[in-house]
Chain A
Amino acid sequence: MASGIKDKVAILGMGCAKFGERWDKDAGQLMVEAFDEALVDAGIDSSQIDAAWLGVAYDGVSLGPSGIPMSFALRLPNIGVTKVENYCASGTESFRGAVYAVASGAADIALAMGVEKLKDTGYGGLPIRTLGTNLDMIGVEGSGPGNFAQLASAYRSVHGVSKDDLKRAMAHVSVKSHANGLKNPKAHLRSAISIDQVLNAPMIAEPLGLFDCCGVSDGAACAIVTTPEIARALGKKDLVTVKALQISSSNGWEQQQAGGWNGSYFHTTRIAAARAYEEAGVTNPREQISMTEVHDCFSITELVTMEDLFLSKEGRAWRDVLDGVFDADGAVPCQIDGGLKCFGHPIGASGLRMLYENYLQLLGRAGDRQLQKPPSLALSHNLGGQPSENVSAVAIVGLADA
């Protein structure tokens, strides 16, 4: 058994661009915005970076092939720049590359960047792209909302929840995230909404209405990582270290009848979460995890993810949501920065944006939205694909001494 990543890597600095419809900036400029914040935070200059990873999902519209566009934009010192793509989990995938480089000793200091420039397509939602040669013949070219909406149909059926009850619980998810996003100056959407607004919004993909869906944004976020020893040598006192980092990819099990998957949850998230808790030494997540940033691309995704992260019992998340367990003042606050729903969802950047919020909260630097109860372990969950085939990434970061 591998010994795991716990406390082998520390976050030296992080940065995050303002998310939104950034008509003013291209992908390279968004990366500079995030990178400059991270360099100042880390107290280094770019010549000290040994290796870099770039996560981007839609390279066709964002910045073109390879890692070179980032090397150009940031004028990195001719180091290796690896571009990774793993659907919407590309940000955490980029982080994994940098963390592994440091943990292996191959690099002292590594950069993980995530970026997406989506508002050059001319329409809302994700860019239309090929599914690949074979799936273009036999797959379904559904939208993001359509793919994830199917969770709701199965969840209702499996757990005997009425359409109205589930729709109301989903609405609570979005209302909570809007309330949180209001306090975040970097968030794309900063407006409070009501339950009735959510319930009466136009239908996008049954049963997901407009406010059950996150929009798409332009943005970038990055992390500079190193060893705890180097971080301390560079003068860092409060250290945030990586406690666990797990990614699980579907292999088709969900798409075989005999496997028994019922369509109401994420098989991979349950696997990644269990592995991450074991790696971090977490035995009772509802008590030990202080806060979460999860992949709330749609309200129903966040709702079932509470069960898949073992924060709610199976079939009970909709009640926990309605009871406020995941509200800002609840037992396990979720999306305190507004989440994908309001902070925004520049695909490749999202995993790093979640880590950015967890990092700020752990260090007490989250401003107006700083949690009253100081967090010690923060979880981010970054998901790509769709319920029937996906990649699920779970990262737990915490104070070095926690």
Chain B
Amino acid sequence: MTTGILAFGAYIPRKRLSRAAIYAANAWFAPGLKGLAKGERAIGDWDEDAITMAVEAARDALTGFDRSKVAGTILASTTFPFADRQNAGLVKEALTLSDESATMDVGGSMRAATTALTQALRAADGRPQLCVASDMRKSRPASEAELLNGDSAAAVLVGEGPVVARFLGSHAVSVDFVDHYRASGTDFDYGWESRWIRDEGYHGVLVDALKGGMAALGTDAQSVDRLIIPVVMRGAAASIARKAGFRDEAVADGLLTQVGDGGASHPLLMLVSALEAAAPGEKILLVGFGQGVDMILLEATDALRELPPRRGVAGSIARRSADDNYLRWLFHRGQLDLERGMRAESDLKQPATALWRERRGVMGLVGGRCTVTGTVQFPKTEISVSHNEHARFTQEDYPLADRRARVVTYTADALTYTPAPPLYYGLIDFEGGGRMKVEFADVEEGDVEVGRELEMVFRVRAVDERRNFKRYFWKAAPVAAEA
């Protein structure tokens, strides 16, 4: 059997913050940033983080795929919401994957995703495994990182069978080259001079590794059709490619203008973008850089043409909402302490007992379907809600997360505390049955009305700031108009 990538998916938050808006707020202090103030960067909403973005990317990757076959989930990130509570485990619950599947977090480097993918490809035993990368890095106001970074997630399904990209081999180099670092428990990177990073890191460590890697893989650099170097410094990818002997036209676009540097997610995001454009037979070299270099050589196959349509990177970029509210973003990332009022003071303690009991409903949005009446409901209960027959203990699991819904009633509530007022919510009906009262996400003013079509998205519901616990649940987002 052929080992490789069976499917892929991506998620980029729809909000794109104008870099000019970031620069305008900070120009008085850091006028030298002007050169970076072009285009826009993706920013997560207040209720998004590395876990929620990972879930959305994984759902995209699993489009049309039988989830019961997924044997494992690896999550790569440097911004895990939890240090000790497996983040990949939350992703697995949200995806309603089998309890009898493996999960693993991989972090600690910008190479996390390529290292995770290498391991998944090398360990492939015929059972599909999800490899997800997601990062939402914080950056100090008026820093270069603030302008260059962009929140994103990407996922690939690794396994054997009708792969869309065949695994040809991998190579790794590990050296403690500290271009930047972030200490445990802190928010911000500390980076060294970019000229040194370019000369010694990119043109030194990285170019050398590429040359050595191609030799080890027995491949001519000129034969590579798509070279993915997740380095956003202007001109760097091209000069690295040239010095390492690759063709100029093979260098993949770094997605800087529309998205920004995703951090640990960026290699996979660029890979997904490359796969979307690749023709069967093309060779793709995926590179990861961070205290060394990972290289993964792939070859696109005819199966690309059979893959069901998905959002991917192209769809994610198109699903865009322009934003120039820099202060709101700082507040949403916890970097601006707005007066939130007494209504924000409630205690949001989550009983662990109840979360465990209700985890299928809360994390997976699994409702119930009465086997006698066929009535669908959320949440699942012992006595059916059906008014025709209150049948007892007849409900089977009924996942609702991937079903579209429509608005029955709604409001835009300016009184309830929310980090993004007004709070939109309402009653919704799912296609095929089931109804729930739910918060809405990603609502543009004027774009909600009775009957509006919705899709469910996994989001942060509330944050218990006293105990540093995040509560997650599903929200309903208006389905974007077809492009």
Within 8 A of B (CB), among A102-135: 121-123, 125, 128-130, 133-134
Asked whether A143 is an interface residue with its Cβ less than 8 Å from the other chain, the reply is: yes
- B461 CB → nearest A CB, Å: 8
With contacts A138-B362, A142-B423 taken as known, whether A255 is within 8 angstroms of B436 at the C-beta atoms is yes
Q: Which of A125, A139, A208 contacts B437 (CB 8 A)?
A: A139
Interface string of A135-159 (1 = CB under 8 A from B): 0111111111111011101101100
Asked whether A253 is an interface residue with its Cβ less than 8 Å from the other chain, the reply is: yes
Are A143 and B415 touching (Cβ within 8 A)? Answer: yes
Stretch in A257-265, A268-276, A328-336 touching the partner: A257-265
With contacts A257-B430, A263-B408 taken as known, whether A137 is within 8 angstroms of B354 at the C-beta atoms is yes
Interface string of A63-92 (1 = CB under 8 A from B): 000000000000000000000000000000
Residue of B nearest to A146 (CB): B413
Are A257 and B423 touching (Cβ within 8 A)? Answer: no
Within 8 A of B (CB), among A268-316: none
Within 8 A of B (CB), among A184-230: 202-206, 208
Residues of A within 8 A of B376 (CB): 257
Are B413 and A143 touching (Cβ within 8 A)? Answer: yes
Q: Which of A139, A144, A203, A253 contacts B414 (CB 8 A)?
A: A203
- A144 CB → nearest B CB, Å: 8
Residues of B within 8 A of A203 (CB): 412, 414, 422
Residue of A138, A142, A202, A205 with highest tally of chain B CB at under 10 A = A138
Residues of B within 8 A of A151 (CB): 409
Q: Which of B343, B386, B434 contacts A123 (CB 8 A)?
A: B343
Asked whether B427 is an interface residue with its Cβ less than 8 Å from the other chain, the reply is: yes
Docked pose: A88 CA to B107 CA in angstroms: 51
Are A256 and B375 touching (Cβ within 8 A)? Answer: yes
Asked whether B143 is an interface residue with its Cβ less than 8 Å from the other chain, the reply is: no
Are B342 and A122 touching (Cβ within 8 A)? Answer: yes
Asked whether A252 is an interface residue with its Cβ less than 8 Å from the other chain, the reply is: yes
Residue of A nearest to B438 (CB): A140
Residues of B within 8 A of A143 (CB): 413, 415-416
Asked whether A13 is an interface residue with its Cβ less than 8 Å from the other chain, the reply is: no
Are B354 and A133 touching (Cβ within 8 A)? Answer: yes
Are A138 and B379 touching (Cβ within 8 A)? Answer: yes
Are B414 and A205 touching (Cβ within 8 A)? Answer: yes
Within 8 A of A (CB), among B395-427: 407-417, 422-423, 425-427
Residue of B nearest to A145 (CB): B415
Docked pose: A154 CA to B437 CA in angstroms: 14
Docked pose: A136 CA to B426 CA in angstroms: 16
Q: Which of B375, B411, B415 contacts A125 (CB 8 A)?
A: B415
Residue of B nearest to A205 (CB): B413
Residues of A within 8 A of B327 (CB): none
Docked pose: A137 CA to B387 CA in angstroms: 26
Interface string of B331-373 (1 = CB under 8 A from A): 0000000000111011110110011001001100000000000
- A207 CB → nearest B CB, Å: 8
Within 8 A of B (CB), among A302-360: none
Residue of B385, B422, B437, B471 with highest tally of chain A CB at under 10 A = B437
Residues of A within 8 A of B358 (CB): 134, 137-138
Interface string of A23-51 (1 = CB under 8 A from B): 00000000000000000000000000000
With contacts A133-B351, A150-B426, A258-B375 taken as known, whether A128 is within 8 angstroms of B433 at the C-beta atoms is no
Residues of A within 8 A of B351 (CB): 133
Q: Which of B409, B411, B473 contacts A138 (CB 8 A)?
A: B473
Residues of A within 8 A of B361 (CB): 138
Docked pose: A296 CA to B429 CA in angstroms: 28
Are B386 and A256 touching (Cβ within 8 A)? Answer: yes
Residue of A nearest to B429 (CB): A257
Asked whether B439 is an interface residue with its Cβ less than 8 Å from the other chain, the reply is: yes
- A148 CB → nearest B CB, Å: 8
Are A205 and B387 touching (Cβ within 8 A)? Answer: no
Interface string of B432-452 (1 = CB under 8 A from A): 011111110000000001110
Residues of B within 8 A of A208 (CB): 411
Asked whether A388 is an interface residue with its Cβ less than 8 Å from the other chain, the reply is: yes
Interface size class of B (residues with CB under 8 A): 35 or more
Residues of A within 8 A of B345 (CB): 128
With contacts A142-B413, A150-B410, A206-B422 taken as known, whether A255 is within 8 angstroms of B435 at the C-beta atoms is yes
Asked whether B109 is an interface residue with its Cβ less than 8 Å from the other chain, the reply is: no
Residues of B within 8 A of A181 (CB): none
Within 8 A of B (CB), among A339-388: 387-388
Residues of A within 8 A of B387 (CB): 253, 256, 258-259
Docked pose: A257 CA to B433 CA in angstroms: 6
Q: Which of B343, B377, B409 contacts A128 (CB 8 A)?
A: B343
Residue of B nearest to A208 (CB): B411
Residues of A within 8 A of B342 (CB): 121-123
With contacts A139-B437, A255-B437 taken as known, whether A205 is within 8 angstroms of B415 at the C-beta atoms is yes
Are A140 and B433 touching (Cβ within 8 A)? Answer: no
Docked pose: A262 CA to B408 CA in angstroms: 7
Docked pose: A262 CA to B436 CA in angstroms: 13
With contacts A153-B450, A206-B422, A256-B377 taken as known, whether A387 is within 8 angstroms of B409 at the C-beta atoms is yes
Are A146 and B415 touching (Cβ within 8 A)? Answer: yes
Residues of B within 8 A of A146 (CB): 411, 413, 415-416, 423, 425
Are B433 and A258 touching (Cβ within 8 A)? Answer: yes
Are A154 and B450 touching (Cβ within 8 A)? Answer: yes
Are B427 and A263 touching (Cβ within 8 A)? Answer: yes
Docked pose: A263 CA to B411 CA in angstroms: 12
Residue of A nearest to B355 (CB): A137
Are A205 and B435 touching (Cβ within 8 A)? Answer: no
Residues of A within 8 A of B350 (CB): 136-137
Are A134 and B379 touching (Cβ within 8 A)? Answer: yes
- B94 CB → nearest A CB, Å: 14
Are A256 and B385 touching (Cβ within 8 A)? Answer: yes
Residues of B within 8 A of A128 (CB): 343, 345-346, 417
With contacts A142-B423, A257-B435, A388-B427 taken as known, whether A123 is within 8 angstroms of B413 at the C-beta atoms is no
Docked pose: A143 CA to B429 CA in angstroms: 22
- A386 CB → nearest B CB, Å: 9
Residue of A128, A153, A203 with highest tally of chain B CB at under 10 A = A153
- A151 CB → nearest B CB, Å: 7
Docked pose: A140 CA to B409 CA in angstroms: 13
Are A206 and B411 touching (Cβ within 8 A)? Answer: yes
Residues of A within 8 A of B429 (CB): 257
Are B409 and A153 touching (Cβ within 8 A)? Answer: yes
With contacts A140-B425, A140-B437, A255-B435 taken as known, whether A153 is within 8 angstroms of B410 at the C-beta atoms is yes
- B210 CB → nearest A CB, Å: 49
Docked pose: A384 CA to B123 CA in angstroms: 59
Residue of B415, B451, B473 with highest tally of chain A CB at under 10 A = B415
Residues of B within 8 A of A255 (CB): 377, 385, 427, 435-437
Residue of B nearest to A139 (CB): B437
- B360 CB → nearest A CB, Å: 11
Residue of B350, B387, B423, B435 with highest tally of chain A CB at under 10 A = B435
Docked pose: A251 CA to B423 CA in angstroms: 27
Known: A129-B346, A203-B412, A208-B411. 10 other contacts (CB 8 A): A134-B379, A142-B425, A153-B410, A204-B413, A204-B414, A252-B385, A255-B377, A255-B436, A255-B437, A256-B386
7 pairs of residues in contact across A and B, judged by CB atoms under 8 Å? A142-B413, A143-B413, A150-B411, A153-B411, A154-B408, A205-B412, A252-B377
The 3 closest A-B pairs by CB, nearest first: A146-B413, A150-B409, A263-B409
